Amino acid sequence: MSTVEQELPNPLVEGLERLPVDPTTLVIFGATGDLARRKLLPALYNLAHEGALPEHFRLIGVARREKAHEDYRAECEQAIHQFSRRAVDADVLKGLLEHVKYVPGTFDDEHVYDELRKVLEQFEKHAGERLNRLFYLSTAPTFFPVIVQALGRMGLAEHEGSAVRVIIEKPFGTSLAQAKELNRCVLAVFSEPQVFRIDHYLGKETVQNMMAFRFANGMFEPLWNRNYIDQVQITAAEDIGIGSRAGYYDQAGALRDLIQNHMLQLLCHVAMEPPVRFSAEEVRNEKVKVLCAIAKPIAQEIDRIAVRAQYSSGHSGGEDVAGYLHEEGVRENSSTETFAALRLEVDNWRWAGVPFYLRAGKRLARKVTEIAVTLKPVPHLAFSQDGSLGVRPNQLILTLQPNEGVTLQLGAKIPGTRMVIRPVNMEFLYGTSFLSQSPEAYERLITDAMRGDPTLFTRNDEVEAQWRICDPIVKAWEQTPGPLEQYEAGSQGPRQAQRILRADHHWRAI
């Protein structure tokens, strides 16, 4: 039973910042992996530090390697010390680790699930009550169906008198067919309200702030449509290369890694209608409507709406850096794109005719994630020709990182005797205006999943709608493997990116 489904209200929760979370055992599959060490375990510690974990909280790590409970606890302790965002309180950490156990084995081995059941039952016996169960699939995607089916087969997908939920990490499929198959497999075992498909971007304060920006401020909404907006550019640029992630990245590429999930979510936040209320279903309904309003690309037009490229050697951060094909772990002659850009249109009453440009890439000039909304030019300029030279259409820029904020670009007169105009920035930076430190996305998302609140998770139809847009492009690119156009590391990206823009449009400088 989730707290959000209960009818009898709890009058004591009014005004509390930290809402109660039902007693829970969290089971992490892939418990010794990078994500668990760097993100999940530190997030759990920080929740414990703040008193935000349930009264009864237990953790079970499941992974392939044989090790004793004590050894796994020692690994957890080391990871928490290394990656926690706050100084570790020894008593809290000790209390957290006291309730950690480890189950070794391969994910297709039924003995693992037998052992898991025993530990789950021991925990409940010790707690003296039923504990909710939350399975976190932090493994390679190939194991998602294996684990889900095993949980179903072994009767672990339900538990009388308590809630059973599953968090599935990204990527949720690598094609539309795979995403559909994975949904079919998952929904054969769990019901949709039990399933939490994670896109950690949605847990970031910055993305949630976009909803506040659009729906808590009356001044922008009258302009937020095709009558006033000329184009929208969404950029996720990184200055780093692939680092040690070649194994994953060379299979995925920029389109699957960033555009299919995070960037389409950003597009949804820009283009969605105001939801009737901020419930999980209402918000997700509005996002799905946006995705459904984007036409599925047809094979013949993909060259006109999509660009891909790879970085070559160049300079980044004052150092010489290798090109993608020379990075360690990358396949020889790999045709995986490290840069992808798309032009999409949202065919509905509000947005018809407004291009949404999306681009994501590695080894670009700098790290920035932003949404730039360009308004249409003013209909008439009364200034002299010289004076009007600096007049540009207004731009509203929502920066998500590194400095979260809002910039409004306006035309202003240059001081002097002549009427000469140039663009200036009116800037608001979130970091200057709040005392609180943003919680890590995983802290928020784990808590929401334990509470059964799916608002910040992706629904089954949402993930399929995202794939419906990207799948034809993936297929077209797979059929024409390359070699790919190269762009110099540390640059603005490939020249060909200009190809998908309308004649009068330009990419914003990164």
Partner 1 sequence: MSAVRDSVWSEQDTTPDAIEGALRELLAERHAEHGGFAPARVLNMVAFVERQYSGEIANRLRGVGRYHASRLVVLSYHPSQRSLDARVTVASEGDPQPGELALLRETVVVQVGAQHLNDLLTIVDPLLVSDMPTLMWWPHGHPQTLEALISLAQAVLLDSIDEPAAGAAIDRACELSRELYVVDLAWLRSTPWRERIAATFDPVPMRAELGQITSVTVTHHPASAVPALLLLGWLSSRLAWQAMPLAGDGALHGSASGPRGEIALRLRPAPALQVPGLQGLEIQTASGRLVRLDRGRGGLCAHRRDPDGRTHTWTVLGASRGEAGILGEGIRQALLRDPTYIPALTAARAMLPTDRPRQPKGAAQ
Residues known to be catalytic? 262
Across the beta sheet with 355-361, the strand order is: 421-429, 405-413, 395-401, 368-375, 229-237, 355-361, 339-345, 306-312, 486-488
CA–CA gap between residue 231 and residue 395 (Å, rounded) = 10
Q: For partner 1, how many residues bind (rule: CB under 8 A)?
A: 47
402 residue type, one letter: P
Rounded to whole angstroms, what are the CA distances from 261 to 30, 197, 381, 456?
22, 11, 41, 13
> Does 55 participate in binding partner 1 (rule CB under 8 A)?
yes
> Does 319 participate in binding partner 1 (rule CB under 8 A)?
no
Q: Of 4, 35, 92, 146, which one interacts with partner 1 (CB under 8 A)?
A: 92
Where b means 16+ CB within 10 Å and e means fewer, 125-161 reads eebeebbbbbbbbbbebebbbbbbbbbbeeebbebee
Q: Is the CB of residue 329 less than 8 Å from the CB of residue 347?
A: no
Q: At what angle do helices 205-215 and 264-271 cross, to 10 degrees?
A: 20
Could you tell me which residues come within 8 angstroms of residue 370 by beta carbon, excluding any fewer than 6 positions away? 234, 235, 397, 398, 399, 400, 508
Q: How far is the CB of 169 from partner 1 (least distance, A)?
A: 25
Task: Strands of 177-298 (E only): list them.
Answer: 195-197, 229-237
> Does 177 participate in binding partner 1 (rule CB under 8 A)?
no
Region near partner 1 per CB under 8 A, out of 24-32, 42-50, 134-142, 376-384: 42-50
Q: Of 38, 180, 366, 475, which one interacts with partner 1 (CB under 8 A)?
A: 366
> Does 134 participate in binding partner 1 (rule CB under 8 A)?
no
Q: Of 4, 127, 164, 223, which one interacts with partner 1 (CB under 8 A)?
A: 127
- DSSP-derived pairing of the beta strands 132-137 and 24-29: parallel
CA–CA gap between residue 156 and residue 116 (Å, rounded) = 9
CA–CA gap between residue 484 and residue 251 (Å, rounded) = 15
Rounded to whole angstroms, what are the CA distances from 376 to 232, 326, 426?
11, 44, 18
Residue 403 or 480: which CB sits closer to partner 1?
403
Residue 184 or 367: which CB sits closer to partner 1?
367
> Does 119 participate in binding partner 1 (rule CB under 8 A)?
no
Q: How far is the CB of 212 from partner 1 (least distance, A)?
A: 15
Residue 88 or 501: which CB sits closer to partner 1?
88
Residue 367 or 418: which CB sits closer to partner 1?
367
Residue 89 or 286: which CB sits closer to partner 1?
89
Region near partner 1 per CB under 8 A, out of 92-100, 143-151, 331-339, 383-391: 92-100
Sign of CA dihedral 3, 5, 7, 13: positive
Residue 106 in tokens: 């391969």
Q: How far is the CB of 491 from partner 1 (least distance, A)?
A: 17
CA–CA gap between residue 412 and residue 381 (Å, rounded) = 14
Q: Of 429, 478, 495, 502, which one interacts with partner 1 (CB under 8 A)?
A: 429
Q: How far is the CB of 51 from partner 1 (least distance, A)?
A: 3
CA–CA gap between residue 498 and residue 6 (Å, rounded) = 53
C-alpha angle with apex 414: 413 to 418, nearest 5 degrees?
85
Q: How far is the CB of 431 from partner 1 (least distance, A)?
A: 5
Residue 237 or 272: which CB sits closer to partner 1?
237
Residue 10 or 480: which CB sits closer to partner 1?
10
Task: For residue 495, report the phi and psi dihedrals to the nearest 5 degrees.
Answer: -60, -35
Q: Of 39, 76, 78, 91, which one interacts with partner 1 (CB under 8 A)?
A: 91
Q: What is the contact mask toward partner 1 in residues 144 to 173, using x (rule: CB under 8 A)?
A: ------------------------------
Say how many C-beta atoms besides its own lie within 10 A of residue 237's C-beta: 20
Q: Of 218, 434, 479, 504, which one interacts with partner 1 (CB under 8 A)?
A: 434
If phi over 0 gives left and psi between -120 and 50 gives alpha, with beta otherwise, what is residue 34? alpha
CA–CA gap between residue 298 and residue 360 (Å, rounded) = 21
Q: How far is the CB of 266 from partner 1 (least distance, A)?
A: 20
> Does 10 participate in binding partner 1 (rule CB under 8 A)?
yes
> Does 66 participate in binding partner 1 (rule CB under 8 A)?
no
Q: Of 216, 435, 503, 509, which one interacts with partner 1 (CB under 8 A)?
A: 435
Q: Is the CB of residue 499 less than 8 Å from the CB of residue 322?
A: no
> Does 433 participate in binding partner 1 (rule CB under 8 A)?
yes
Q: What is the contact mask toward partner 1 in residues 446 to 485, using x (rule: CB under 8 A)?
A: ----------------------------------------
Q: Of 94, 153, 296, 418, which one interacts with partner 1 (CB under 8 A)?
A: 94
Q: Is the CB of residue 262 less than 8 Å from the CB of residue 199?
A: yes
CA–CA gap between residue 446 and residue 35 (Å, rounded) = 13
Q: Of 27, 28, 39, 56, which one interacts with partner 1 (CB under 8 A)?
A: 56
Region near partner 1 per CB under 8 A, out of 91-99, 210-218, 240-248, 388-396: 91-99
Q: Of 29, 57, 135, 477, which one interacts with partner 1 (CB under 8 A)?
A: 57
Catalog residues that contact partner 1 under the rule CB under 8 A.
Answer: 1, 3, 6, 8-16, 18, 20-22, 48-51, 53-57, 89-92, 94-96, 127-129, 366-367, 402-403, 429, 431-437
